[in-house]
Amino acid sequence: MAFDIVGMLFGVIVGVIITAPVLWIAGRLLVGPSKAKFTDAIVIVVLGNVANVIVGAFIGGLAGTLIQIVVYLFLIQKYYECSWGKAILVAIVTVVIFVVIAFILALVGFGIFGSMLPVQ
C-alpha cells in the first residue's frame, strides 16, 4: 500500500490547471462570487486529489469511489460555504461545463486535423 507521489503531484498540477477554473466558474454561478473564490477552488482540487490518492491506496472499487465523491462534496460545501444540495449542484454543473468544453475542443480538433486527413 504505497502512495504514488509522482502520480499525486501530476494529478494536483493537472487538476489545478484544468479543474480549478471550471470548479470556480460553477461555484460563482451557483453560490455567488463572494463565496466562490479561485483560491478556494485550488484548495478543493489539491485536497481532493490528495484524498483520492489516500483513499485509493487503502480502499478501492465502488466503496472508494463513493468515499471520494463524498470527500469532494464535503470540500465544496466547506470552502464555498453552501449547503450539501448546492455542493451537489456545483459538482454537477462542473461536470456539464467539462463535457461542453471537451465537445468544443473535439470539434475544433477535428476541424483542424480533419482537413489534413487523406481523401478516399
Please report the pLDDT score of residue 117 as a whole number. Answer: 54
Q: Cα–Cα distance between 106 and 71 in angstroms, integer?
A: 30
Q: Cα–Cα distance between 15 and 69 in angstroms, integer?
A: 15
AA letter at 5 = I
Q: pTM of the prediction?
A: 0.81
Q: Which residues of the chain have pLDDT under 70?
A: 1-4, 110-120
Express each pLDDT in 44-77 by its tens digit: 999 998 898 888 888 888 999 999 999 999 999 9
Please report the pLDDT score of residue 6 as a whole number. Answer: 80
Cα angle: 14, vertex 34, 73; to 5 degrees = 50
